[in-house]
Amino acid sequence: MPDININIGQSGLKQLLRQQITNNFLLEKHEVAPLFSLLPAALQRTAICFLASDNKYYASDDNTANFNPYHSGQYTIFLYFLSNELYLNREHTLADKVYFLNKTLNCLDLFYQIELPEVFFLDHPVGSVLGRAKYGNYFTFQQNCTVGGNHGIYPHLGENVRLFAGATVIGNSTLGNNVFVSAGAYIKDQDIPDNTIVFGSSPNLTLISKPTEYFLKSSPFKIHREA
């Protein structure tokens, strides 16, 4: 398991989870064991995600992931991974509670059946709703973003897609690799090529092509900064 430093310790994290779920939704006695048994798997996924980040609050120079449950963005990512682990292990009621806890505390909708990539990053994501799209690795989003369906069809997002504040991607849309969707942009049932900045609203989008390096140099991920 990758090294992860939990600033309140794993016992403190267990106590925090137990109390938060109990206070908000009731935690049955029989749910405590599966909740805690799946904690290591969720922490491992959290560590992998954090260690890919170039943000000093997420990873140390000694290749240790830093996890502060009182950092809203970090706790959001962890709770998503925990709810997804519970879902994958058929603990559906408990997955509901952890998902709802994330929604209650952090004010965004990351449903546990959504398959977010191994590595993603969020920046003040209040008000965002991510639907059942296909998400490529190194996905990033900000506040009030929406990814959703249109007539039951959902988008496909490539690697290093970045949604800035208020961006929307819905329906039969395919975004290539290295795509930045600018603040307030609205994409519906359209394809966006690699290495593109998107402005405006469908069907009248403005697409600006840039070299790959443009998208990598501002990436929040180590792998892109080192490229």
Centroid of chain to Cα 180: 16
Q: Quick one: 204 and 162 in the same domain?
A: yes
Hey, what amino acid is at 64? T
Q: Quick one: 103 and 14 in the same domain?
A: yes
H helices present in the chain, as ranges: 9-25, 29-37, 39-51, 72-88, 92-106, 212-217, 222-225
Q: What does the alpha-carbon distance between residue 85 and residue 115 come to, in Å, rounded to a whole number?
A: 11
137-162 pLDDT, tens digit per residue, is 999 999 999 999 999 999 999 999 99
Sign of CA dihedral 103, 74, 50, 164: positive
In a domain, 88, yes or no: yes
How many structural domains does the chain have? Answer: 2
CB-hemisphere CA count at 13 Å for 140? 27
In a domain, 113, yes or no: no
Q: What does the alpha-carbon distance between residue 94 and residue 20 come to, in Å, rounded to a whole number?
A: 13
Examine the fold and report which residue of 74, 107, 140 is the final residue of a domain before the chain moves on: 107
Q: Which domain holds residue 87?
A: 4-107
Q: How many CB atoms lie within 10 A of CB 113?
A: 12
In a domain, 114, yes or no: no
Contact of 86 with 38, CB cutoff 8 Å = yes
> One digit per residue, pLDDT tens: the chain, 227 residues?
789 999 999 999 999 999 999 999 999 999 999 999 999 999 999 999 999 999 999 998 889 999 999 999 999 999 999 999 999 999 999 999 999 999 999 999 999 999 999 999 999 999 999 999 999 999 999 999 999 999 999 999 999 999 999 999 999 999 999 999 999 999 999 999 999 999 999 999 999 999 999 999 999 999 997 76
Examine the fold and report which residue of 63, 81, 107 is the final residue of a domain before the chain moves on: 107
Q: Quick one: 130 and 190 in the same domain?
A: yes
175 Cβ contact list (under 8 Å, min separation 6)? 155, 156, 157, 158, 161, 169, 181, 187, 191, 192
- Residue by residue, DSSP assigns 173-196 as -EE-SSEEE-TT-EEES-EE-SSE
What confidence score (pLDDT) does residue 97 get?
98
Examine the fold and report which residue of 107, 130, 165 is the final residue of a domain before the chain moves on: 107
What are the Cα distances from residue 76, in Å, to 39, 64, 129? 15, 19, 13
In a domain, 9, yes or no: yes
What confidence score (pLDDT) does residue 181 get?
98
What confidence score (pLDDT) does residue 227 get?
65
Q: 116 in helix, strand or coil?
A: coil
What confidence score (pLDDT) does residue 2 get?
87
Q: Quick one: 95 and 151 in the same domain?
A: no
DSSP code, position 150 = B
